[in-house]
Amino acid sequence: MSQLGARRGVCILQGFAEEEAAKALILLDAIRCPASFADKFTNLVKQIDQHVGKGIYARYYGTSPGDMTEVKRIVDSERKGFYREGEYGEFILPNQIKANRESMLYVSYVRNDDGTRGWHAPRAPFEFEGRIYPATIRVLDALHAAGVFEVEALKVFRDYWQELPFADVGTDPQSAALDTLVNWTKLTDLNFGMLKRLDQQNLLLPTATVEHQNTIIRELLFPLYPFDLNITRNFRDLPPPDSPYSY
């Protein structure tokens, strides 16, 4: 379709594919969530039918956070209902995930700042190249090849990760005990340990190539169950725009 020039059609299908992949990653994080975190489990599963929550997963898996503090920064940025943009912050724009999705799918009737009104036709986003095989789908493909989605393997996956609770440490990583913090290097070790445990129980499928295993080790990210993924209603809390005369 892309070669035929059906750019918007490709983007719509791509967006749907990434949303479906996000659903699977939400469920995997729900499996990783310790049983004692019942409220976080419930809140996470509710994101399966929330476009912003799924969009956060799709964007999050395109990043490389070093620790849970960076994960929180990414999540909080992506779930903002509104944000300021422009040289002095003079423009207020809606949540990017929601706005980009709607502008691609729907015709909108809008009122402009000058009071005029008009129709906005659906459009394809500019950032198209390189998204055909994004990290969400790449990680799921690797997990499938490794056999993680088989029932017995999922039980091992669950038991392994529920022994390792993750927490929202806020903006100050020093507020948590240092021995409980997991950075990216330790996370890759944990991912390797998960594959090793599956292999020890003869549950790692031979279809898992070295590339598949490396993808799981390096790209299966920190779980998001510790965080609120709901869109914020922060319009009234936005700071005022900067004054050009303050520079």
- Both 116 and 73 in one domain: the answer is no
pLDDT of residue 10: 83
The tokens describing 245, both together, are 């005369």
pLDDT in tens, 115-139: 899 998 887 765 555 567 899 999 9
Q: Domain of residue 184: give its range.
A: 7-79+128-219
Helix/strand/coil for 38:
helix
Q: Taking 70 as the threshold, does the pLDDT of residue 2 lie above it?
A: no
pLDDT bracket for residue 90 (50, 70, 90): confident
Of the candidate ranges 8-17, 26-35, 77-86, the one whose mean pLDDT is the lowest: 8-17
- Both 64 and 13 in one domain: the answer is yes
pLDDT in tens, 175-190: 544 455 789 999 999 9
pLDDT of residue 237: 83
- Both 142 and 55 in one domain: the answer is yes
- Both 101 and 161 in one domain: the answer is no
pLDDT bracket for residue 6 (50, 70, 90): low
Q: How many domains does the chain have?
A: 2
Q: Taking 80 as the threshold, does the pLDDT of residue 243 lie above it?
A: no
Please answer whether residues 108 and 119 qualify as being in contact, where contact means their C-beta atoms are separated by less than 8 angstroms.
yes
The CA distances from residue 95 to 44, 51, 100, 191, 237, in Å, are 20, 11, 8, 32, 14
Q: Is residue 247 part of a domain?
A: no
